Amino acid sequence: MNAFLDACRRTIGAQYVLTAAAETASYLTDWRRRLTGSACAVLKPASTAEVAAIVCLCNQFKVPIVPQGGNTGLVLGSIPDASGTAVVLVLTRLNQIRAIDPVNNTMTVEAGCILQNIQQAAADAERLFPLSLASEGSCTIGGNLASNAGGTAVLRYGNARELCLGLEVVTPQGEIWHGLRGLRKDNTGYDLRDLYIGAEGTLGIITAAVLKLFPQAKAQRTTLAALRSPDDALRLLTLAQLRCGAALTGFELMSSYCLALVQQHFPQMHLPFADAHAHYVLLELSDGESEAHAQALLEGLVGDALQQEIIEDAIVASSLAQSKALWDIREHIPLAQAAEGKNIKHDVSLPVSVIGDFISSTAHLLQQAFPGARMVVFGHLGDGNLHYNVAHPETVSEASFLAQQAAVNRIVHDSVHQFGGSISAEHGIGALKRDEILLYKTDVEINLMRSIKRALDPLNIMNPGKVI
């Protein structure tokens, strides 16, 4: 191992080969602080060439590699195991925006670029990069692509996969695939780009990407609507799609308990309704015409929804500050959950049409098994992605409830499967759900995935123990 580390020091500089516990600690524990792994070193290369050289050394010395960006993942995908044999390859020094092409509406960026910096660079060029996540101030685009991140604008613009045109990737053999093509049509064989996006670093290391840009909206309008049920939320979604078309960019469902948690733990965030309602939808329009057109579009939608008794009440933001305040309520739900204590989290996707039935059916099953369990249900209803989290009953200790996580997962995931959904919508599989997917994917699907992994990474050095 000393020979390997010495070679790494010669390759990227001794100051970027971290081995002391005080230096490596922050890279070895996941964001939720559920797991701390061990590594022989944390390596911080500064270029694609240095990444390739490190991978070649790892091949030579048979050292596993765990790629890591901002370490904001939620499924233990960027944390090494406890063996201490792997290196953590941190890509945050690859942080250059290489080019912006406003005519082609593309931006070429390195994997370690912070998502928020990419958004700002696009804005500076009078363009929009629409990927938006709660962790956008610290997550990196390489991690976003490796996990095929979603976020709040998927309804209009799609997941990270749909926002990427080309990639630069270091293969498990240390070769560089130069696939940074800004083409929207390229039917010249297998789509290697889509193979690496969402693979969580198990097939290669993304070092750069060509991203799609969009025209900036001339106006954005936001409303918070109060409803009786998720079924009414689906009726509102259908109406909004009919009335607003592509202008509909955000459609977030939140249960009453979610907002109660926010109000409890962040009392300075005043909720806009005098009375509590069962569910809420945060809806946003991005309009390409004018402020007046956007306002008329939203007011017409809200008026129709009230007249048809789809919604019970609504607050329409009249300024950017009011819009931000409404979005702050949504974005504080995970923080309020953390302040309340630990809970059992699920990131699931379902056909949009069955979400109401899924929520009611799954809640009933959980209440039968765990009376008093509290459902923290929120998410991107427009694209079928729910964060379906379960908190302990008030009469049961947190620790004893968390000990039942496997049983809770089985109820929720079996229900997701029954309704034709997926147990991972936007967080990935990582190590957390690696065994879980075996219960819900067919043998054919699992064997195909294993065949791809063996073919591309025969030494199994790329993020071993993750995904498959």
- The model's pLDDT over 327-353, given as tens digits with 9 standing for 90+, comes to 999 999 989 998 999 899 999 999 999
Question: What's residue 198's pLDDT?
Answer: 97
Q: Are 266 and 210 members of one domain?
A: no
Q: Does residue 211 sit in the same domain as residue 119?
A: yes
Least confident of 6-10, 285-289, 376-380, 407-411: 285-289
Residues 66 and 29 in one domain: yes
Which 3 state secondary structure label does DSSP give 261?
Answer: helix
Residue 424 confidence (pLDDT): 95
pLDDT band at 319 (very low <50, low <70, confident <90, very high): confident
Shared-domain flag, residues 123 and 210: yes
pLDDT computed for residue 3 by the predictor: 95
Residues 44 and 79 in one domain: yes
The pLDDT value given to residue 292: 86
- How would residue 318 be classed by pLDDT, with cut points 50, 70 and 90? confident
Task: Tell me, yes or no, whether 197 lies in a domain.
Answer: yes
Residues 49 and 101 in one domain: no
* Confidence tier at 31 by pLDDT (50, 70, 90): confident
pLDDT of residue 216: 93
- Please classify residue 326 by burial: count the beta carbons closer than 10 Å to its beta carbon, then call 0-12 exposed, 13-18 middle and 19+ buried: buried
**What's the pLDDT score for residue 291?**
85
Last residue of a domain, one of 334, 362, 385: 334
204 in Cβ contact with 462 (< 8 Å): yes
pLDDT > 70: what percent of the chain? 100
The answer as to whether 161 is a domain residue is yes
Please give the average per-residue pLDDT across 269-286, as a whole number: 92
Rounded distance, CA 203 to CA 171, Å? Answer: 7
Q: How many domains does the chain have?
A: 4
* Mean pLDDT along residues 236-240: 97
**Pair (80, 109) in one structural domain:** no
| CATH, residue 232 | 3.30.70.2190
440 located within any domain: no
Question: Would you say residue 229 lies in a domain?
Answer: yes
**Looking at the structure, do residues 198 and 108 belong to the same domain, yes or no?**
yes
Do residue 210 and residue 148 come from a single domain?
Answer: yes
Read off the pLDDT of each residue in 87-114 and give the average, rounded to a whole number. 98
69 occurs within a structural domain: yes
Residue 397: is its pLDDT beyond 90? Answer: yes
The yes-or-no verdict on residue 34 having pLDDT over 90 is no
Q: Is 204 found in the same domain as 110?
A: yes
Categorize the per-residue pLDDT at 77 as very low, low, confident or very high, splitting at 50, 70 and 90: very high
- Residue 462 domain-assigned? no
**% of the chain at pLDDT higher than 90:** 89
- Judgement on whether residues 205 and 314 belong to the same structural domain of the protein: no
Report yes or no on 83 lying in a domain.
yes
CATH number of the domain enclosing 377 = 3.30.70.2740
Instruction: Give the CATH number for residue 211.
Output: 3.30.465.10
Query: Which structural domain, as residue segments, surrounds residue 18?
Result: 2-90
In a domain, 172, yes or no: yes
How do residues 123-170 score in pLDDT, each as one tens digit?
Answer: 999 999 999 988 999 999 999 999 999 988 999 999 999 999 999 999
Q: Is the pLDDT of residue 103 over 90?
A: yes
Looking at residue 33, what is its pLDDT? 84
Residue 120 has pLDDT above 90, yes or no: yes
351/420 same-domain check: yes
Report the pLDDT averaged over residues 362-367. Answer: 97
Predicted confidence band at 18 (pLDDT cuts at 50, 70, 90)?
very high
Kindly report the CATH number assigned to the domain that includes residue 50: 3.30.43.10
Residue 281 has pLDDT above 90, yes or no: yes
Last residue of a domain, one of 68, 90, 112: 90
- Please write the tens of the pLDDT for every residue from 207-218: 999 999 999 998
Among 90, 124, 150, the domain boundary falls at: 90
Among 173, 177, 54, 206, which residue's Cα sits nearest to residue 455? 173
pLDDT for 270 beyond 90: no
pLDDT tops 90 at residue 70: yes
pLDDT of residue 190: 94
